[in-house]
Amino acid sequence: MKREFYKCWLLSLILLFVVDVLWHALIFAGFYLETMGDVVRVGSGRVAPMLQFIALGDVIASFGYAYFLAATCANGRFVMNGVLAGFVIHAPFTLWNYALIPGWDGSLAAFDTVYAVVQGVIQGFLFQWMNRSAEKPRLA
C-alpha cells in the first residue's frame, strides 16, 4: 500500500472518531438515551460509551473507508462512493443489533442508517479534498 493510503486512513480515523463521538455522545445523546433505555451505557444521567471500543471500531471502519474509497476513486465520485461505503460499513451493524438486541427498536435502526449515510458523505468529502489537486486520483 502506498504511503498516501496510510495518510488517508489516519485522517479518516480521526474524522470518523470525532463525528462518531459528536453524533452518538453529544448531539443525539438524548435520542439514544431515550430510545435505547436499559441497553445504553449511562453515567451521571448521560450516555457514557466505552470510548476505547468505539476507537477500536473506528480503526476498523476507517480502514474500510480508506480501502474502499482508494479502490474506487478512479471514477472521481468520492462522495457517492463514500455514501455506499458508509451504508455497507455501518448499516448491517445496526440491522443486526435490531435483530438481536431487544432494546434496539426500528427508529434506532433507521436513525443509525442515516448516520451511516452522513458518515459516508463526510468521508467522501474528505477523500475528495485529499485528491483535489491531482489530475488522476492519487490513491489509485
42-101 tens-digit pLDDT: 777 776 667 788 789 889 999 988 888 776 666 678 888 889 988 988 889 889 988 988
Which residues are CB-neighbours of 134 under 8 A, at least 6 positions away?
none
Cα angle: 19, vertex 101, 33; to 5 degrees = 50
**pLDDT given at position 134:** 55
Instruction: Please give the helix or strand (H or E) that residue 43 lies within, else none.
Output: strand 42-43
Q: In which band, very low, low, confident or very high, does the pLDDT at 140 lie, cut at 50, 70 and 90?
A: very low
